[in-house]
Amino acid sequence: MPDELNPLFGTTWWDKMNEAEKGEVRRNLEAWRFSQFMHGEQGALICTAKIVQTVPDIDSKFYAATQVIDEARHVEVYSRYLHEKSSSSTRSTTTWPACSTTSFVTVAGT
Ligand SMILES: [Fe+2]
């Protein structure tokens, strides 16, 4: 993302950072953004699982379950991106919440 979209851009803190520090801020900001998307997908996963529970007939459940699978895939993609691509040498991946699709579905009670 362009630096102009970084909330620190244009501040005295930004101006005092060297390029390595700015790079670390960029990586952390992007990881935060992707983390927000991942949590939105977790919410979508819960919502679609609830729809499966509430629809009355089996055909509706089959149809709604396809969306649950899609949302689970979205959670997995964002989770993997955060764990595998967004980590840096100065931050452990354990900083991010444990959120594999399997454990999340168990927590969601589905
Ligand atoms: Fe989604």
Ligand 1 centroid–CA 64 distance in Å is 13
Question: What pTM, to 2 d.p., does this model score?
Answer: 0.69
CA of 41 to the centre of ligand 1 (A): 5
Query: Model confidence over 50-66: pLDDT tens digits?
Result: 999 999 999 999 999 99
d(CA 74, ligand 1 centre) in Å: 5
* Parent domain of 89: 3-107
Q: What is the pLDDT of residues 69-99, one digit of tens each?
A: 999 999 999 999 999 988 654 444 444 444 4
Contact 30, 22 (CB under 8 A): no
Number of domains in the chain: 1
3-class DSSP assignment, residue 88: strand
* Torsion, CA 101, CA 102, CA 103, CA 104, rounded to 10: 40
- What distance in angstroms lies between residue 87's CA and the mean position of ligand 1's atoms? 23
Q: Count the Cβ atoms, other than its own, within 10 Å of residue 44.
A: 17
pLDDT band at 11 (very low <50, low <70, confident <90, very high): very high
What's the rounded mean pLDDT across residues 5-31? 95
Helix/strand/coil for 91: strand
Q: How far is the CA of 27 from the centre of ligand 1 (A)?
A: 23
Q: What is the mean pLDDT of residues 1-22?
A: 94
Instruction: Write the CA distances from 56 to 1, 45, 64, integer angstroms.
Output: 45, 19, 11
Using alpha carbons, list the distances in angstroms from residue 31 to 19, 51, 81, 89, 105: 18, 30, 9, 14, 23
